[in-house]
Amino acid sequence: MTPHTGSSLSSETFEGSQELGDRGATSPAELGREAGSVLRLPEGTGVDVSDLDVEYPDDETMIINMGPQHPSTHGVLRLMMELDGETVLRTKPIIGYLHTGMEKTGEGLTYQQGATNVTRMDYLSPLNNELVFSLATEKLLGIEIPPRAVWIRMLLSELQRVSSHLMWLATNGMDVGSTTMMIFGFRERELVLAFFEKTTGLRMNHNFIRPGGTAADLPDGWEDDVETILDNVTARLAVYDELLTGQPIFRERMEGVGALSAEEALALSATGPILRSTGVAWDLRRAMPYLAYDEVVFDVIIGTYGDNFDRYAIRLNEIRESVRILRQVLDKMPAGDYRVQDKKVTPPPRARIDESMEALIHHFKIFTEGFKVPEGEVYVAVESPRGELGCYMVSDGSAKPHRLHIRAPSFVNLQSLPVMMHGGLVADAVATISSVDPVMGEVDR
């Protein structure tokens, strides 16, 4: 990316500002660039810029506000941007408009109820949130869940990745002007959501993955349903390829825009497709396998330039890898229990309550008091469609977590937005925001 020169207008509108720099030749001074791309002004309105102790390259910059109601900002993201003409100099993402104190709420809910709370954070991949919460609780409890529960979780987690990436393809297409892609993406996502509705009863916020396993077994004929989804998605991925990947307008808008280097991505703690687009093959499913990801074969998709096009290509091909994993899950799904048979953790089956006093007592205790979790603290991370989704949980030995912290990938990834947008055009800002894939429910929690 050519640094901003502030000279004649023609050099700005020419293709030059979108060129990629040399890879691997990033100097330490260039690494400090994010210090120059983050705008640090108070967020309040009516700030007189001349009163502030901030240096400007010249007097011709202006600060404009984008959001929180801008349709392209994916929810309630607000950006303060310092512009010189149409070039973005520094940016400050302002968040918190959707803050509802979910971590505080989580301290008041039992482990039994907690999954309903965390599932509402990342509303495009709720099952991953339930998964990380359940894994953390199980690690504190020290219980091992049955193999079928593990594979059901993997099945749902990968289907969720497919639906989340399809949703991203749809909204990203919308942001760069391809409304066809928006309709296509939503159409295919509908297939996955219909399966979720059949399995869990809900299209989103499922509360299906719970501490101890899952809420229910998979419905009869699930193999055929998943097979249909995979065949459909595979066939239509080829259509997307034809519609977008080779299309000159789409490539012009994506290639070389919003570039980030691997060093910057690591320094800014970016994970997920953003980190992988810079060429770092970091995927928690591969590097630190959880569930049974070490028993399936898949590739980690990486990019080269770290630009918007790489992030598009990574998400598109990750759908293909998820389809590949799902086909192996179809083959390898073991039989058995879908939740752990520990009466202190999971409620007894409905039929047992009618005939066993003890089962009734266990049921009553679990749903009124919840189950107690031994003292301790644990950090568990999974690879959500957006990056490292972590859960730091502290238990004081009671039935409610003493502290529940969710390391939200969107929240951390938003920090790289000013670096990506630095020196680009305002029109490209929309495409760059989209390529970060922020989910504001997760950012603000």
Partner 1 sequence: MSAPTAAQEQAGSAGPSGPAGPSESAGPQEPALPGVARATSPDGHDIVFPSRAGYHDAVAAHRAAGFEMLADLTAVDYLGHPGRALPDGVAAERFELVVALLSVSQPRRVRVRVQVPEDDAVVASLWDLYRGAEAMEREAFDMFGIWFTGHPDLTRILMPEDWEGHPLRKDFGVGRVPVQFKQAPGPR
Where along the sequence are the contacts to partner 1 (CB under 8 A)?
28-29, 31-32, 34-35, 38, 40, 42-44, 53, 95-96, 99, 101, 103-105, 108, 139, 142, 262-264, 266-271, 280-282, 287-288, 375-381, 388, 390, 392, 394, 396, 402-403, 405, 407, 411-412, 414-415, 444-445
Burial 366-403 (b: 16+ CB within 10 A, else e): beeebbbbeeeeeebbbbbbbbbbbbbbebeeebbbee
Give 42 or 349: the residue with its C-beta nearer to partner 1: 42
Nearest distance, CB of residue 361 and partner 1, angstroms: 29
Give whichever of 16 and 101 is closer to partner 1, judged by the CB atom: 101
Burial (CB count within 10 angstroms: exposed 0-12, middle 13-18, buried 19+), residue 142: exposed
Q: How far apart are CA 74 and CA 95, in angstroms?
A: 12
Q: Which residue, 386 or 407, is less far from partner 1 as judged by CB? A: 407
Q: Which CB atom, from 141 or from 159, has the smaller least distance to partner 1?
A: 141
Give me the least distance between CB of 155 and partner 1, in Å please: 24
| Shortest distance in whole angstroms from residue 290 CB to partner 1 | 11
Question: Looking at beta carbons, which pairs linking 64-73 to residues 24 or more positions away fall under 8 Å?
Answer: 66/429, 67/94, 68/94, 68/97, 72/175, 72/430, 72/433, 72/434, 73/433
Shortest distance, position 408 Cβ to partner 1, whole Å: 10
Give the nearest distance from C-beta 40 to partner 1 in angstroms: 4
- Collapsed DSSP state (helix, strand, coil) of residue 393: strand
Nearer to partner 1, 186 or 392 (CB): 392
In contact, 117 and 129? CB cutoff 8 Å:
no
Token output for 189: 């996502």
| Cβ closest to partner 1, residue 149 vs residue 412 | 412
Q: Compare residues 348 and 376 and give the one whose CB is closer to partner 1.
A: 376
Tokens 């189950």 belong to residue: 371
Q: Which residues on adjacent β-strands are paired with residue 303?
A: none
Specify the residue, 101 or 334, whose C-beta has the smaller distance to partner 1: 101
Report, in Å, the least distance between residue 76 CB and partner 1: 12
Evaluate whether 211 touches 134 at the Cβ level (below 8 Å): yes
Residue number, 139 or 251, with CB nearest to partner 1? 139
143: how many CB neighbours lie within 10 A of its CB? 16
**One-character DSSP codes across 224-285:** HHHHHHHHHHHHHHHHHIIIIIT-HHHHHHHTTSS---HHHHHHTT--THHHHHTT----HH
State the nearest-atom distance from the C-beta of 157 to partner 1, in Å: 19
Q: List residues bridging with 425 in a β-sheet.
A: 87
Least distance in angstroms from the C-beta of 280 to partner 1: 5
Q: How far is the CB of 281 from partner 1 (least distance, A)?
A: 8
Which DSSP helix (H) or strand (E) runs through 175?
helix 147-175
Please state, in angstroms and rounded to a whole number, the distance separating the CA atoms of residues 116 and 260: 36
